[in-house]
Amino acid sequence: HNRQAIESHPMAHRVELIEGPSTSAETMAKVKASIPEGASVMVILDSDHSKAHVLDELRNYAPLVTDGHYLVVADTILGRYEPSQVPTKRSKVLLPGDEPLVALNDYLQETDRFELDTIINGKLVLSSSPGGYLRCVRS
């Protein structure tokens, strides 16, 4: 359904779909091969929101982000819920501690390439990704 909707969109010519587990070696090779030399790269991580998977994605995809561009980690709101507020009508129920925000905070201990963008984060009065917008500040 998603493929059909994307491919029939007027902007489809600007979208290249790579289908597969987001962090597999095969997917990563295809992603890297699709980035032209000298391109500006931003990344939005919005797949499996468990801590282990987001951390794996951060370690694979954040190095692709180019200086001055953005890394967006979606659904960091999950880290702000009380256990009783966690959405349960999902394929995975992710309790605080097993979600994107904790993965992001762990990843930020491993790198000095990203800074929280306080302006964008501050503009988003309502957001499912509070604190999820980071800017790459070093190549």
Ligand X SMILES: C[S@@+](CC[C@H](N)C(=O)[O-])C[C@H]1O[C@@H](n2cnc3c(N)ncnc32)[C@H](O)[C@@H]1O
Report the DSSP pairing between strands 70-73 and 133-136: antiparallel
User: Please, are residues 53 and 23 in contact by the beta-carbon 8 Å criterion?
Assistant: yes
- Work out how close the CB of 10 gets to ligand X at its nearest, in angstroms, rounded to a whole number: 17
- Work out how close the CB of 38 gets to ligand X at its nearest, in angstroms, rounded to a whole number: 26
Identity of residue 55: L
Give me the count of residues in the chain: 139
Whichever of 47 and 111 has its CB closer to ligand X, that residue is 47
Whichever of 87 and 97 has its CB closer to ligand X, that residue is 87
Residues of the shown chain interacting with ligand X in the complex, contacts defined by CB under 6 A = 21-22, 46-48, 53
Whichever of 90 and 138 has its CB closer to ligand X, that residue is 90
- Work out how close the CB of 64 gets to ligand X at its nearest, in angstroms, rounded to a whole number: 16
User: Please, are residues 114 and 137 in contact by the beta-carbon 8 Å criterion?
Assistant: yes
The two structure tokens encoding residue 15: 């979208």
